[in-house]
Structure 1
Amino acid sequence: MLLLLLKKVISDFKNIFGVKITRIRTDNGSEFINNYRNNQKKNTVKETNFTQFLKDKNIFHQTTPVRSPQSNGKIERFHQNYTKLFVFEEKILNAVSLQNKLNDYYYFYNFERVHKSLNFQTPFNFLNSLIK
């Protein structure tokens, strides 16, 4: 699922905005970095599908320092915001309802909510101002 979404994002940035993604920054989660769990006996490194995908697309993978959420502040703040939103919501009983809630929140966050760090613009408007 992650790779399908990433392929779409890369394609959309290229086709819609004319922007080629050359670097992606992530934390050190096991979904993003080399996977040692299956290779402990052999003492070899197995790349994740994510790292192999980036390598194939010639995209530099930058990771944040370990135990330093402040170095990835924007996404940490995003996680904090949507966690607050869902903590006080009613229980969501199925995956479709959850996906609908997430879609609504992503739309609000990117197209309606202004961000102080973006000079009180929405992320969409800020990105558009960079490519004009």
Structure 2
Amino acid sequence: MDSKIITPSNFLVNKKNYIYDFIDEMTRIVFGYVYDSLGTNNALNAVQRAMKDFGELGITIKQLRTDNAPEFTTTNWSNKKSYKVKERPFTTFLSRNGIVHESTPIRSLQSNGKIERFRQHYTKLFYAKNKKLNQNELQNYLNKYYYFYNFERRHSSLNTKTPFQTLQKALTK
């Protein structure tokens, strides 16, 4: 799971939006949800939506890797570079739902490489658009891309299968 800021200066959107994206490590199935702000409540809502969407495909979220953004973190850093682990609503929700929360080391984008690589495609999505999208339009537009990515785009890392074909194969084993 990771969050991305979509700004009018970089994308054809009418205002700043935030996307929480999820990618399954094994199948590369992705889902994403657009919000007007970052924060614990939206992050929790995104996890609930992801649990439902992945669940409908037969995927149970057992572990979730995030960066150290404030809405996810369990660590409070002090000026002395020491830290104190503190339970937060995000991690409490995950543990109550049997999901292990793993946070990436600070300043190590490669630790969440699959989602970071997936995100490189975002800028390409907006080249053909000629009007600015509002939040609902952005979600609908991204949903079409997620559908293409999950069900139609063949991935060399998946032996030229789509993420959904990879999932089907895994479910039949």
- TM category (shorter chain) comes to 0.7 to 0.9
Q: Residues 51-130 of structure 1 correspond to what in structure 2 (within 5 A)?
A: 51-86=91-126, 89-130=129-170
Letter of the 2:46 counterpart: L
Between Structure 1 and Structure 2, which shows a larger proportion of strand residues? Answer: 2
Between Structure 1 and Structure 2, which shows a larger proportion of helix residues? Answer: 1
- Deviation of the 1:28 alpha carbon: 1.8
Change over 3 Å in CA distance of 1:51–1:127 after alignment to 2: same
**TM-score calculated relative to the size of structure 1:** 0.76
Show CA shifts across 1:4-31 (max 9, x none): 33224334545652x4432111222222
- Runs of 5+ consecutive residues of structure 2 not aligned to the other structure: 1-41
Change over 3 Å in CA distance of 1:65–1:46 after alignment to 2: closer
Change over 3 Å in CA distance of 1:21–1:107 after alignment to 2: same
Q: Distance in 2 between matches of 1:86 and 1:97?
A: 12
State the superposition RMSD in angstroms.
2.8
8 A Cα contact 1:82 1:105, kept in partner: no
Specify which structure has the bigger relative contact order, considering alpha-carbon pairs within 8 angstroms and separated by 6 or more residues.
Answer: 2
8 A Cα contact 1:54 1:60, kept in partner: yes
Letter of the 2:48 counterpart: K
Change over 3 Å in CA distance of 1:76–1:22 after alignment to 2: same
Identical residues among aligned pairs (%): 50
**TM-score calculated relative to the size of structure 2:** 0.60
1:22 to 52, 55, 62: 62
